[in-house]
Amino acid sequence: MAEIAQALADLAVTDRSMIWNTNLVEALELDNPIGQAAVVLHSALYRTESCCAQSREDHPKRADENWLKHTLAGRDDAHRVRLGDRPVRLHPLSNAAFQPSEARRLIRLRVAYPGLRGRAGPPIAVNLFTAIQISVGIGPA
């Protein structure tokens, strides 16, 4: 992975035009997937367990005693991957129940879709403000 990232430094674009230069755009956007791949690779090597979406042949079992934590990963300005972790919260920070405000409560609507010959489509959830906009004809339908 380091060799691929190093080869990116030697990337050159021969097309010098500034209008519709897709080669330039693709070259500029190439840094992001290379960086994402490096972070994912280092994160996978950092966790020495098999759990959920990560499966490793050299560590086939789940290891909660060592790995019940969130992996934090990122790249610094020098493109070095930095890894860390933080513990998993197994209990909520408070026992207070969340009470949504009246305007944010979800309601269910049946929307007539074109092509269904007058039948209502599947129910969709929207917030109350959106429903009011739709009913008076000022919002998206």
The string of pLDDT tens digits covering residues 14-31 is: 888 888 888 888 888 888
- The stretch 112-123 carries a mean pLDDT of 49
Closest by CA position to 104, among listed 135, 134, 127, 133? 127
pLDDT in tens, 74-95: 988 888 899 999 998 888 888 7
Query: Nearest 5°: phi and psi at 36?
Result: -65, -40
pLDDT at 102 over 70: no
What does the pLDDT read at residue 116?
Answer: 47
CA triple 47-50-56, angle to 5 deg: 85
**Least confidently predicted of 42-51, 86-95, 102-111:** 102-111
- Return d(Cα 54, Cα 49) in angstroms, integer: 8
- The share of the chain scoring above pLDDT 70, in percent, equals 69
Q: Is 35 in a helix, a strand, or coil?
A: helix
What is the reported pTM? 0.58
Domain 2-87 -> CATH class: mainly alpha
- The stretch 55-61 carries a mean pLDDT of 89
Closest by CA position to 3, among listed 34, 46, 32? 34
What does the pLDDT read at residue 85?
Answer: 92
Residue ranges, comma separated, of all CATH 1.20.58.100 domains in the chain are 2-87
